[in-house]
Chains A and B, each alone.
Chain A
Amino acid sequence: MLACHPAKKLSFNRSISDGDLVIVYEKHESMKAVTVCEGSVLQNRFGVFKHSDWIGKQFGSKVFSSKGGFVYLLAPTPELWTLVLNHRTQILYIADISFVITYLEVLPGCVVLESGTGSGSLTTSLARAVAPSGHVNTFDFHEQRAESARADFERTGLSSLVTVKVRDIQGEGFPDDFTGMVDSVFLDLPQPWLTIPSAAKVLRHDGTLCSFSPCIEQVQRTCETLRTRFTDIRTFEVLLRTYEVREERMQSLSEDGDGSNGSVHRKRRQCSDGSYVLSGSPSISSVMARPCGEARGHTGYLTFARVKCVS
């Protein structure tokens, strides 16, 4: 997914080979991660797609099934991965993820600790942000989840940037060998306040922390605990509203051609009921946008803080 060595410059123009991870795009919100394998096929409602037909095609190509249906093959990115990964837990989505990365000031070379790993949705973006020289250490106390996450990072090519460990972070805190070594800590845990003292210990000077919690009671306790060793404590909620765009034709009712689209020539006839109908080019078409009717109303609160600087 990432190019960690300058020699393997990130260039999507390269063509698809056997063993590559591709994102199969049917339509928006309907995508699937597939590892290309010479002899296998992908079957969906558009028909049967032979992987062998994909090999040698460029990422971004449209490919056809036996029935003539088609899908697009995209190169994986952390954003696409978040949309296709296996949900083993609740996950973070792009609005929260992108804000967390910027607000924690995660930059190339940074060392980041995360717990819990969950489904690795955030981890994937953290890995991109610390690349090529930094590292993400992510902890989950759930053995199987950690194992699946490890397998995912192998599959997405991030294993050199991410280490997954099994550990009860609320109970034991972060390992002592990280003391004073860490640039940022991210917590997505049920009782994050239990981990704050340990986070303060591992963070270096001016290091940043973020805790994600769905409930305000969690935030309240976290903030109370943070005040001892942290400063610049701020809590946010981030949401996204998406828009539908459509070209619509609307009847023009204006009597003469002084309407907004002066170029549209219109002739009118009066009907028996007195209303005007437009003939010739009776309607005006324009591109319009409106918010989509449904949206995620709440994900969680993001609380950020910075270790107090003791000079």
Chain B
Amino acid sequence: MNEGNSSNGRVTWEGCSVLLDINDGDRLVFARLSPAAKLKIGNKNCSLQPLIGRAFGTVFQVDTAPGGPCLSPAQVHVTNAEEIGDGQGNDEWRDKVNVNSADEVRDGAVNVESRDNRALVDNNTAQSLTGEDIEAMRRQGARGNEIIEALIANSATFEKKTAFSQEKYRLKKQKKYAPKVLMRRPVARSICEAYFKKYPSKIGFLRVDTLSLLLSMANVSSNSDILVVDMIGGLLTGAVAERLGGTGFVCNSYFGQAPYSMDIVRIFNLSDEICKRILRSPISDLLSPKESSEKILQHDVCNVEGQSNDQISASVSMVENSHSSENGISDIGIDNTEPAIEVRKAPKAGERAQKEVIDSWKENGFSSLIVAAPELDTWTVVKDLLPLLANSAPFAIYHQYLQPLATCMHNLQLGKMAIGLQISEPWLREYQVLPSRTHPCMQMSAFGGYILSGTKICSTANSATPTD
């Protein structure tokens, strides 16, 4: 099997998860590829079969085939610089999507541009092609680009527009008549960005730069055992597992009986080897003393129960997921995907951690801790979990609010439990870079959350008498 998240996983396969970016982010859909899977684009239902065995990064367009609408790879020009201006290339448009009209006016002033828009009257009569004309063209097999050219040729005002407005016009028509579907690899970056854009509450408003910092600050590296509290749908767990690459473990831990949802893990194309490294454990199991088996007898009873709940809830959510569009973005496992297939195909991540591995964690300590638990009291969580870390292990705690982190930091300082404590707030600004029109994008995310980071130190007793 050539699947999985290895660097080689650059071509799709049947059962593979993909992120479909329709018209430069207008719609973002997570899908699992199968011959039966279909995706509705505009008013057309397109089979996803043609996407199987294709390279990630391929752009598809909707063609009219004898059997109905069909996705086929769009031609990509490896252009030389002159061709770029003609707007035929693919992603130059991306840079321009964010531009609004206020922009246009000011930017126009910088350009050497003889036309301006003083003579433009928008009275809806500028276009002489009617809806019926366009339908007729389609029936005769016209491709989207040909329709756009016809619209331009029949537009009374196109020639009078500034070059900039012409681009905007083209883009608008392209989206409508020649939609593009970009097939992306679902990795931490693309998954986090897609959720942040379309469904941020599901991932606790964790921005991609903040996620990146968490992974760095917690020194996520191969062969380490990372303890996580992930109440952001599994994004954190998946991102950590991806970085471990099938070594070490990510322990997805939870308070109480019911594990937290990790639906998002299934969106990553994690190989079986990687999935095996994602284990779940109730925090009570991790905290119970290693030797005294009698003492935990009582716990054990609940644990067994917890386990069965775990399995049920996991399989329920999988099936649910495959029909529901609850997810807004993760139109995951699209309409026609058979739930049964879905369950079989989906890798089984998140097995309950067995006694031996828990014992080894207790013995060695976790190599780091990452918490993204908006609903739990930060200090309580950290106070409970910090002792599970090896000494000198780093940790990173995410929160949308500053106060819980400030309190936690203060308590850690007073308790001399950690050093190098710092609260950071990342700031991320994107730029539009175009000849004579470079400036920060008009829209930005003003807030990406806060991180408390630090390093656990030996408790005073420990440093006096090292345990080994």
Binding site for B on A (CB under 8 A): 2-6, 8-13, 15, 25, 28, 56-63, 72-75, 77-79, 94-95, 97-99, 101-103, 105, 107-111, 125, 128-129, 131-134, 183, 204-206, 216, 219-220, 223-224, 227-229, 231-243, 245, 247, 287-289, 291, 301, 303, 306-311
Contact = CB atoms under 8 A, between A and B. Distances in A.
Given A58-B391, A101-B212, A205-B57, 7 more contacts: A28-B420, A61-B466, A105-B189, A108-B246, A109-B8, A237-B429, A243-B425
A241 B427 contact: yes
Nearest to B435: A224
15 contacts: A4-B223, A10-B221, A25-B419, A58-B463, A60-B392, A105-B189, A131-B222, A206-B57, A227-B92, A228-B79, A228-B81, A231-B57, A239-B426, A242-B422, A289-B423
Interface in B135-161: none
Contacts of A56: 466
A3 B391 contact: no
A126 to B, nearest CB: 12
Q: Which 4 A-B pairs have the closest CB atoms?
A: A108-B245, A60-B391, A60-B392, A59-B392
Given A98-B216, A206-B55, A238 B427 contact: yes
B457 A62 contact: yes
Contact of B394 (A63, A77, A103, A291): A77
A289 B365 CA distance: 31
B173 to A, nearest CB: 21
A99 B426 CA distance: 10
A309 B57 contact: yes
B394 A9 contact: no
Interface in B160-217: 185, 187-189, 208-209, 211-213, 215-217
Interface size range on B against A? 35 or more
B247 to A, nearest CB: 6
Given A4-B222, A4-B223, A131-B222, A243 B423 contact: yes
A8 B242 CA distance: 20
B245 A206 contact: no
Interface in B409-429: 409-410, 413, 419-429
A110 to B, nearest CB: 5
Contact of B58 (A3, A5, A10, A311): A311
B42 to A, nearest CB: 23
Contact of A94 (B216, B367, B438): B216
A72 B455 CA distance: 11
B244 interface: yes
Nearest to B448: A238
A285 B63 CA distance: 68
B163 to A, nearest CB: 16
B223 A206 contact: no
Interface of B: 5-8, 10, 54-59, 73, 76, 78-81, 84, 89-92, 94-95, 185, 187-189, 208-209, 211-213, 215-217, 219, 221-225, 242-248, 364-365, 367, 390-394, 402-403, 405-407, 409-410, 413, 419-431, 433-435, 438, 450, 455-458, 460, 462-463, 466-468
Contacts of A58: 391-392, 458, 462-463, 466-468
Given A60-B391, A62-B458, A10 B426 contact: no
Nearest to A204: B10
Contacts of A15: 466, 468
A263 B225 CA distance: 43
Nearest to B24: A232
Contacts of B391: 12-13, 58-61
A206 B431 contact: no
Contact of A224 (B5, B81, B460): B81
Contacts of A308: 57, 76, 78, 90
A289 B402 contact: yes
A183 B179 CA distance: 29
